């Protein structure tokens, strides 16, 4: 029984350790890329930080959530590639925290650890968090809904 109470005290250190490992894995993608839509999103964030509005002053084909997050980041840090790239990583990491917490409550630990690692280190998630697409925000939103159940 003491082992179980000792193990339960590791809930947050395990989350921090796995989350740090995920951020470390993502640092290999924290560099400027020439191709893709990413630079267009950064430019749109710059325009919005200068007072322009999407849909009125320039075309944007998606819901504004992603652009609002990029604009806020651009307004605070300017064109800092690491800060802008973190807008793809941090929402997914928050979603992983929701998954971890939910499974930890349900199964008292092991399932939470298992699903945290499977969620963060699957190929598709590693791919979509390299560039700030809107999928990372949707992922966080949907996983946060686990808290209500």
Question: Is pLDDT of 22 > 50?
Answer: yes
Residue with tokens 């640092």: 27
| Mean per-residue pLDDT of the chain | 84
Q: How confident is the model at residue 1 (pLDDT cuts 50, 70, 90)?
A: very low
Would you say 99 and 119 are in contact if contact means Cβ atoms under 8 Å apart? yes
Nearest to 113 by CA among 21, 23, 26, 3: 21
Asked if the model's pLDDT at residue 146 lies above 70, the reply is no
Q: What is the mean pLDDT of residues 1-29?
A: 81
Cβ atoms < 10 Å from Cβ of 68:
14
Give dist(CA 86, CA 70) in Å, integer: 10
Determine contact, residues 102/147, Cβ cutoff 8 Å: yes
pLDDT at 114: 87
Which tens digits make up the pLDDT trace of 101-112?
Answer: 888 877 767 788
pLDDT at position 147, please?
A: 66
Q: According to the model, what pLDDT value does residue 17 have?
A: 94
Instruction: Please report the pLDDT score of residue 2 as a whole number.
Output: 46
pLDDT for 148 equals: 65
Q: Are 123 and 55 in contact (CB under 8 A)?
A: no
- Residue 108 tokens read as 């008292």
pTM of the shown model: 0.79
Phi, psi angle pair for 58, to nearest 5°: -155, 160
């Amino acid at each position: 029984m003491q082992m179980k109470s000792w193990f339960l005290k590791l809930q947050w250190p395990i989350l921090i350790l796995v989350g740090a490992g995920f951020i470390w894995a993502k640092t290999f993608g924290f560099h400027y890329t020439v191709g893709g839509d990413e630079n267009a999103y950064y430019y749109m964030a710059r325009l919005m930080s200068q007072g322009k509005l999407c849909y009125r002053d320039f075309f944007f084909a998606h819901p504004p959530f992603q652009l609002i997050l990029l604009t806020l980041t651009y307004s605070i840090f300017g064109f800092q590639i690491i800060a802008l790239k973190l807008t793809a990583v941090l929402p997914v990491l928050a979603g992983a925290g929701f998954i971890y917490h939910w499974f930890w409550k349900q199964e008292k630990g092991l399932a939470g650890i298992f699903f945290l690692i499977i969620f963060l280190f699957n190929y598709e998630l590693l791919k979509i968090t390299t560039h700030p697409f809107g999928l990372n925000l949707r992922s966080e939103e949907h996983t946060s809904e686990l808290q209500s159940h």
